[in-house]
Amino acid sequence: MRRALLIAGLLAGLVSSAALAQPVEREAGPLPRFFPHRETYLGLDPDQRTHFQLAYRVSSEADIAPGEIEMWFTQGEDRVSFEIDATGQINHLPDLRTLEAAPPVWINQPSGGMSLSMQFEARLPGGPAYAAEDLELALSQANNAIRQAAGVAALFAPNFKTLIFVYDGPAPTADAIHEDGSRTPLTAQENRVLVRPRDRNMRDVVRIELGGMPVRVLLDS
């Protein structure tokens, strides 16, 4: 009897595991819910957002690879799928008209099985050398946008001062180049190079030179 119960329990466990592994297609909510603040970002004058953007990443609570996560909505009879890369970043972002239409988004993850994060990223021309004025512009544009959106709560809004150059592997050598041609090594931590253009020792920097192209540049306080 005990052996029969044990076998039954094992079979039940296998059935439960198989059921959890089955794809789940469900309506998860209106489109704007998955892209917080994107409507506000797109509502800015284009000249006010040339050097920063909002990035959105998804991840599975069950450790499913980002490439296996699917998100889509329909336009007429067409299925519009989001492009999700190996890091979970959504590369196919909706425009303002689509956001305002607020179509329902479908995903292949069970309820509570997926999380989404939003990050501020710099959009810098050139590379792997960057002009100091472009670094400063990325920070100032992002901070101005936050203050506009926050209104009376702007005093409690984050203040970006740092650019984090993220690499797919160990961070390369990196230097700040001063007006007199001298160099100051930049801080490198594992796969990241940190730059704080507004620090006292960076005020006469004309550009930074990195030993390789980063995969993305985050803005942080």
- 90-129 pLDDT, tens digit each: 988 999 999 999 999 999 888 877 889 999 999 999 999 9
E strand residue ranges, the chain: 26-30, 52-60, 71-75, 78-81, 104-107, 114-122, 129-131, 162-166, 174-178, 183-185, 187-189, 192-195, 205-210, 216-220
CA distance 101 to 202: 46
- Mean pLDDT, residues 207-219: 97
DSSP state of 186: P
Query: What average pLDDT score do residues 175-185 get?
Result: 97
Residue given tokens 């890091």 in the structure block: 87
User: In the structure encoding, which two tokens stand for residue 197, read together?
Assistant: 């253009």
Q: Which of 106, 88, 87 is nearest to 33 (CA)?
A: 106
Check whether 198 has a pLDDT greater than 60. yes
pLDDT band at 148; cut points 50, 70, 90: confident
Q: Give the mean pLDDT of 169-183.
A: 97
> What 3-state class would DSSP assign to 138?
helix
pLDDT of residue 149: 81
Under the banding of pLDDT at 50, 70 and 90, the label for residue 19 is very low
Distance CA 125, CA 189 (A): 24
Instruction: Report the first-to-last Cα separation within the chain, whole angstroms.
Output: 63
Please give the pLDDT value at position 155: 60
